[in-house]
Amino acid sequence: MSIRFNFTYLLLIVFLGTLLYPYAGSAQSIETLRSQIEAQNAQIAAIEAEIAKYERDLTVVGKDKQTLENAVQQLDISRRKISASVEAARSRITATELELQELSGEIGNKETAIDRSNLALSETLRRIHQTDNETFVEALLRSEKISSVWDDIETVQQFQEVMRNRIVELSVAKVELVDAHETSAKKRSQLIVQTDDLAAQKQALDINRKEKNSLLAETKDKESNYQALLAEKRAAKAEFEDALLDLESKLEYTLDPSKVPPVGKGVLRWPLDSVTITQHFGNTEFAQSGAYSGQGHNGVDFRASVGTPVKSALNGTVQATGNTDQYAGCYSYGKWVLVRHSNGLSSLYAHLSHITVSSGESVNTGNIIGYSGNTGYSTGPHLHFTVYESNAVQLVRLGDVKRITNCANATIPIAPLKAYLNPLDYL
């Protein structure tokens, strides 16, 4: 028994050794994929460095004096920045797809190894059974040495234990790789969505650039005409703010603290991925200089180049959208979105270049609702973000409450002064 068994056993071990390891060609393929992934990651790093440079350029240009040339330059830099962002997203998707291929190959190798391990173990047991279909007593009687029988039994037990351990290890590895595969698949889906979002940003920039081209035509490409328009916009802005303040001052309202969440960080999320505050809420230095009729700034302004994604600060429903620029001489919020949240707060996003949601639409925290711009009475690209007590907000057609106004047909949200809340108390 011992000679026959050991011969069969050795053959199976040799055979099994060739099955437990992936072919060299498979290993080479995985190595190639890894090299391609590294190349994609290097390309992403280079693009991100390019994006960072564009952001620095935008900061510098934004601090320069407002000129027609400066406004167009900001748009050009913004477009290049977003185009680079689109390319970076595509490179990330390619890298993730390569990772998925690598994981799929490794998962396949592990599955094959597990199947072959099980097959080899079954074949070993079958061969042992065929070769040595005799009782333990018979084996003792036929063996020249009792010790050889014990050696064979011990060898079989050791072999089976090694095989079981190997199969357990491969099964664990397979589970880990499947989890990694699912994670990467989700990541790729997110990147595809991100690419779509970035493509929409580019579209927003194209729309805004057309508006600037119209401005160039309107000013006949003359700086003096552009400065005259800015002066007109500033004057109209002050007039509108006075009228709005007069209207909101007459609205009586007592804030009920139980209707809004307690002040605390993280109640709302930041509406931009990169946050730089250019004007705070309330009695700011700019307000003290005479702006807002001395009543303070009713929101927070964030630096945001044209086409920057603007995101909902919390789950909610789009209560309304609007565009006051549809009416000549109406220098108000420009393109705006009002979102009502379930916790008693509402948030306003103003001066957008492009709106991506509609009234009545449900949005989740972090969903893109539009892209930043320079519409309305804004004299430079930024996002105006206001937080209200929801029950106090009204949507008003200005012609219904004010006889003489350039904004008669414009609808905007208004609220009593006490219903404006400091966004930074909740962000």
Q: Is the pLDDT of residue 130 over 70?
A: no
Domain end (from 151, 180, 206): 206
216 within a domain of the structure (yes/no): no
**pLDDT tier for residue 125 given thresholds of 50, 70 and 90:** low
40 within a domain of the structure (yes/no): yes
339 within a domain of the structure (yes/no): yes
394 in Cβ contact with 350 (< 8 Å)? no
Q: Residue 135: what pLDDT?
A: 53
Give the whole-angstrom CA distance, residue 276 versus residue 63. 14
212 within a domain of the structure (yes/no): no
215 within a domain of the structure (yes/no): no
Domain end (from 152, 172, 206): 206
Structure tokens at 217: 């035509």
Structure tokens at 406: 């350039």
Structure tokens at 24: 């060299």
Q: Is the pLDDT of residue 36 over 50?
A: yes
Average pLDDT for 400-427: 85
Q: What is the pLDDT of residues 152-171, one digit of tens each?
A: 666 666 666 776 777 777 77
379 within a domain of the structure (yes/no): yes
Q: Are residues 234 and 365 in the same domain?
A: yes
Q: What is the C-alpha radius of gyration for the chain, rounded to an integer number of angstroms? A: 35
Q: Is the alpha carbon torsion for 137, 143, 147, 152 positive or negative?
A: negative
Q: Are residues 250 and 117 in the same domain?
A: no
Q: Are residues 306 and 267 in the same domain?
A: yes
Give the whole-angstrom CA distance, residue 246 versus residue 235. 17
Q: What is the pLDDT of residues 334-387, one digit of tens each?
A: 999 999 999 999 999 999 988 999 999 999 999 999 999 888 887 778 999 999
217 within a domain of the structure (yes/no): no
pLDDT-wise least confident of 21-30, 54-63, 271-280: 21-30
List of long-range contacts for 218-226, beta carbons under 8 Å, 24+ apart: 219/68, 221/68, 222/68, 223/67, 223/68, 223/69, 226/67, 226/68, 226/71
Longest dimension (CA), the chain: 119
Q: Residue 421: what pLDDT?
A: 93
Domain region containing 415: 223-425
Q: What is the CATH number of the domain that holds 376?
A: 2.70.70.10
Q: Residue 15: what pLDDT?
A: 47
pLDDT-wise least confident of 93-107, 111-125, 215-229, 257-271: 111-125
Terminal Cα-to-Cα distance of the chain (whole angstroms): 79
Number of domains observed in the structure of the chain: 2
Summary mean pLDDT of the chain: 79
Question: Pseudo-torsion of CA 296, 328, 208, 192, nearest 10°?
Answer: 80
Distances (CA, A) of 219 to 68, 224, 225, 330, 414: 9, 8, 5, 19, 33
Query: Taking each helix axis from N to C terminus, what angle separates 2-19 and 68-131, rounded to the nearest 10 degrees?
Result: 170
195 in Cβ contact with 89 (< 8 Å)? yes
Percent of all residues in the chain with a pLDDT value above 90, rounded to a whole number = 24
Alpha helices by DSSP H, listed for 250-374, are 285-288
Q: Are residues 250 and 355 in the same domain?
A: yes
Question: Pseudo-torsion of CA 174, 33, 97, 87, nearest 10°?
Answer: 150
Q: Are residues 83 and 227 in the same domain?
A: no
Closest CA to 2 of 149, 110, 147, 197: 149
Q: Is the pLDDT of residue 2 over 50?
A: no
Average pLDDT for 315-319: 97
Q: Are residues 380 and 240 in the same domain?
A: yes
Q: Are residues 98 and 192 in the same domain?
A: yes
Q: Are residues 171 and 232 in the same domain?
A: no
Domain end (from 206, 237, 258): 206
Closest CA to 275 of 427, 58, 53: 427
**pLDDT tier for residue 82 given thresholds of 50, 70 and 90:** confident
Q: Is the pLDDT of residue 285 over 80?
A: no
Q: Is the pLDDT of residue 71 over 90?
A: no
168 within a domain of the structure (yes/no): yes
411-414 and 362-363 beta bridge pairing: unpaired
Give the whole-angstrom CA distance, residue 369 versus residue 38. 35
Q: Are residues 327 and 179 in the same domain?
A: no
Q: Are residues 199 and 268 in the same domain?
A: no
325 in Cβ contact with 373 (< 8 Å)? no
The DSSP element (H or E) to which 421 belongs, if any, is strand 420-421
Q: Residue 120: what pLDDT?
A: 67
Q: Are residues 249 and 350 in the same domain?
A: yes
Q: Are residues 182 and 312 in the same domain?
A: no
Average pLDDT for 127-134: 56
Close Cβ partners of 125 (under 8 Å, ≥ 6 residues apart): 160
Distances (CA, A) of 12 to 1, 88, 127, 155, 231: 16, 51, 9, 13, 91
Residue 260 CB-density burial (10 A; 0-12 exposed, 13-18 middle, 19+ buried): buried
User: Higher pLDDT residue, 389 or 31?
Assistant: 389
**pLDDT tier for residue 235 given thresholds of 50, 70 and 90:** confident
